[in-house]
A and B are shown apart, each in its own frame.
Chain A
Amino acid sequence: MPEPIFEIRNLDVRFATHDGEVHAVRNVSLDIAEGECLGVVGESGSGKSQVFLAAMGLLSSNGRATGSVKYRGRELLGLPQHKLNRVRGSNITMIFQDPLTSLTPHMTIGAQIMEGLRSHRRIPRDVAEARAIEILEVVRIPEARQRMRQYPHELSGGMRQRAMIAMATVSGPDLLIADEPTTALDVTVQAQILDIMRELKSELKTAVVMISHDMGVIAGIADRVQVMREGQIVEAGPVEGIFYRPQHAYTKELIDAMPRLDKADLTETARAEPAPDAPKLLEVSDLKVHFPIKVAPWITRPLRAVDGVSFTLRQGETLGVVGESGCGKSTLARAILQLLPRTDGSVVWLGHDLDTHRREDLRKLRKELQIVFQDPLASLDPRCTVGQSIAEPLHALMPVLPREEVSARVKKMMARVGLDPGWINRYPHEFSGGQNQRVGVARAMIVEPKLVICDEAVSALDVSIQAQIVRLIAELQAQTHMSLIFISHDLAIVRQLAHRVIVLYMGQVVEIADGDTIYFDPRHPYTKALISAVPVPDPRLERAKKRIKLAGDLPSPLATRAPLTFLKSKVIDSATAEQYRPKLIQVSPGHFVAEHDEVVT
């Protein structure tokens, strides 16, 4: 092993909080050699970010670090600010998770890239500017010269993160610390950012620390891996060793919990196939939800959040809905539940056309159709006990039930979702995210609905918790034969549960097929790109994978041309013209693909 450029020895980080001292990092030691990529993986609260924030002297004011951090033999810990600043930002740089809040809102991209450079090396402004433009081109920001003068809020998420990377590489560092650099991004954008980072690593010979919760990301880029849990390193070693021969139980658990695209049915419960003669529950046809958006004082334009979606759902069936941010998947869920008024189209439930204006329909619908939300804490009223939250639909929909009966049912339901019924009088803030999401599931299940819509129901959770909740939902489905609409940006999760999958792009369906077909035989270029972008937690597969890349970012949903990204030949070159709508074409039984141009690969 070559001489390490960065050594951490016996690092401890403690935070003084109102509830006493928190020992966030315990006795961590690690080395980074020149030009290598170290992956640091762990779940939220494992202290993985704090290790490097401490090393860079960036702990929040209540934090204390002890131990030793050496850069090329020089001790960094306890160094006064002005001495630390000679290394920080010049030899060692850092990229943060959320590029919007991590960039100063009132400074242009150019100014922010140049200021670091100019404070470390006394170079004239025009030289710095030329260097900044050069580096923006390296991270493939188009029209770099104009971007220099733009403010962070004027760029998309992917562009912002590129600017952030440019900022961190402009001074030619030896070590680049990337703290969850792709977590806030869509999966296709994540793939582009990871590509850029891989290139930087191989071209500039910069050592990289990749901090991530995502084993797939780590598998694709790291040379060596450190697994962290509760502030400690539980296992360390070369990437292949960690993934193919994990020693520690926790590492195994992490790898197993990670949902995989290439292998379905991670859950022990076999997916219960719906009976072939199962009745049709839900029939959605040509559903449209448009929001008026003010673009100028007197001009509003429709934002076509959902633009002509049709599908049917049978009893016991699970439909996966997949798409990136802004594709309209959450709007679709709310429109089906009649939480949002639809602009056009129909929703037929058990043969009845649902009319939002009829109270009777709505009441009946609420009892049979329920939803589990994304953010477990936000979807529970902080001032209600979990018992009250779970009981609420019962009170509202079955007001005749006696009090004891309600309480009994709530307790039974809590037990079914794996919560201690004794916790009935506790409040959401006393629980973890996973426990709160169990409360959310219990609230949805209490009225014994025929269909539950899970809107990104596990996206905010750690992988191990994610797996538990997915398993819970699958078990409940097997017991009750309910139908599920499982909405997620994460194809791998959807793959675990869904019998059929819909891929949404800009409010329109681009492909429908059963679960296996969509992964093994995707036809639409967007589906292909989406699938190839999902990182697989398997280093050899991940590195050998042929990538189908999408150029650029998602277009603005306000642009009428946006849904025609894959059918450029039909675009009418006018901002206001009614554009062509791609038709769905059946390629094999049950497999529909939207019209698209042939992609030359």
Chain B
Amino acid sequence: MSIIVPNAGNAAAMTRAQEMRGRSLWVDARRRLFENKAAVVSMVLLAIITLMAILAPLLSRYSFDATDWNVVSCAPDWWPDSTVMCNAGGTHWFGTDSVGRDLFVRVLYGARVSLAVGLVTTLVSLLIGVLYGAIAGYIGGLLDDIMMRVVDVLYSLPFIFFVIILMVIFHRSLFLLFVAIGAVEWLTMARIVRGQTLSIKHKEFIEAARAGGVGPLAIILRHVIPNLLGPVIIYVTLTIPDVILAESFLSFLGLGVQEPLTSWGVLISDGANQMEIAPWMLIFPALFMALTLFCFNFIGDGLRDALDPKER
């Protein structure tokens, strides 16, 4: 492999052209991310879905928990299969569910819960994981050994089952859901952060900073954290879909969010029960969820390619 070394003359010419402005790694990464079509499309789609979820009450005249016994399990007007029992009428764009609630609004309300769980729980795991991993990695030695041993043990637990126990034992609530799933997801974050901290700690530029008289706190703030950010951002984007999946998994089993509140998992569970007579009840929530997970994964992959240190 040949490495192209920018020769001095060229570099000097470039300086004059673009006056003293350097290209930081972040700028480079952003450029590469925006060159990745899949990631850009995903970001746009995700933004639209998020906006729709936030603005849900304004987008439809139906409320998410209003039942209408005149339109029970009715297909949307445009449904191609004409053998359905009934059509719901003009403004039920996604049809109605088995108690006559508008599916469009419910899918968006489901998005609210699923996205909120995804974000909050990831933040919880981020907080615990980064603190834990950074401390273990930076201090090292015996403390690191003990802390990582704990993570190893927890890692080999069938953790989703403990989440289920938690949900069974205590009253099911959104808050508990955040905590329980967050308690599972922080482990990987802690491992990644620790590994990264360890490798950064042994880099020559940290030694150079120490030789230059920079104190430990300043080294962490100025050198360790900025270099840690890349992998953490990548992992965060990949954790959110994981969490959304875990929540919908619990909801599907009937252990997650409770009625009348809803999430994609709950909707898919209802839809699966009705799919023979009302397939739209399965298809729309499943489509929205799959699309969202797709977006997060593509963005995560795009970020990985953009920030991958191997490229340098």
Contacts and interface: CB of A to CB of B under 8 A. Distances in A.
B2 A50 contact: yes
Interface string B12-38: 100110011111111010000000000
A378 B205 contact: yes
Interface residues of B, number: 39
Interface in A353-400: 362-363, 366-367, 370-371, 373-375, 378-385, 389, 392-393, 395-397
A371 B211 contact: yes
B22 A427 contact: yes
The 7 nearest A-B residue pairs measured at CB: A393-B212, A366-B213, A426-B22, A379-B204, A396-B213, A432-B5, A381-B205
A381 B223 contact: yes
A373 B7 CA distance: 22
Interface string A429-457: 11111010000100100010000000000
Interface residues of A, number: 51
Contacts of B5: 44-45, 432-433
A380 B2 contact: no
B58 interface: no
A443 B209 CA distance: 10
B8 A383 contact: no
Nearest to B312: A429
Contacts of B215: 396
26 contacts: A22-B2, A22-B4, A45-B2, A50-B2, A373-B208, A379-B207, A380-B208, A381-B226, A382-B312, A383-B26, A383-B223, A392-B214, A393-B213, A393-B214, A396-B212, A396-B215, A420-B15, A422-B15, A423-B15, A425-B21, A427-B22, A427-B23, A429-B25, A430-B23, A432-B5, A443-B208
A45 B4 CA distance: 7
Interface in B202-243: 203-205, 207-215, 218, 222-223, 226-227
Nearest to A24: B2
Interface string B27-55: 01000000000000000000000000000
Interface string A72-110: 000000000000000000000000000000000000000
Contacts of A396: 209, 212-215, 218
Interface of B: 1-8, 11-12, 15-16, 19-26, 28, 203-205, 207-215, 218, 222-223, 226-227, 312
A380 B222 CA distance: 12
B25 A366 contact: no
A47 interface: yes
A576 interface: no
A245 to B, nearest CB: 29
Nearest to A13: B2
Nearest to A424: B20
A426 B223 CA distance: 17
Contacts of B213: 362-363, 366-367, 393, 396-397
A383 B7 contact: no
Contact of A383 (B1, B16, B20, B25): B25
A424 B223 CA distance: 18
A339 B207 contact: yes
Contacts of B223: 381, 383-384
A479 interface: no
A339 B227 CA distance: 22
A250 interface: no
A383 B204 contact: no
Nearest to A25: B2
A371 B5 CA distance: 25
Given A373-B207, A383-B24, A425-B22, A443 B212 contact: yes
Contact of A430 (B11, B20, B203, B211): B11
A512 interface: no
A392 B6 contact: no
Contact of A392 (B7, B22, B209): B209
B145 to A, nearest CB: 12
Contacts of A379: 204-205, 207-208
Contacts of B218: 396
A593 B143 CA distance: 45
Contacts of A383: 24-26, 223, 226-227
Contacts of B211: 337, 339, 366, 370-371
B55 to A, nearest CB: 38
A60 interface: yes
B234 to A, nearest CB: 16
A15 interface: yes
A397 B215 CA distance: 10
A375 B204 CA distance: 8
B31 to A, nearest CB: 11
A393 B15 CA distance: 26
B24 to A, nearest CB: 6
A585 to B, nearest CB: 35
A374 B208 CA distance: 11
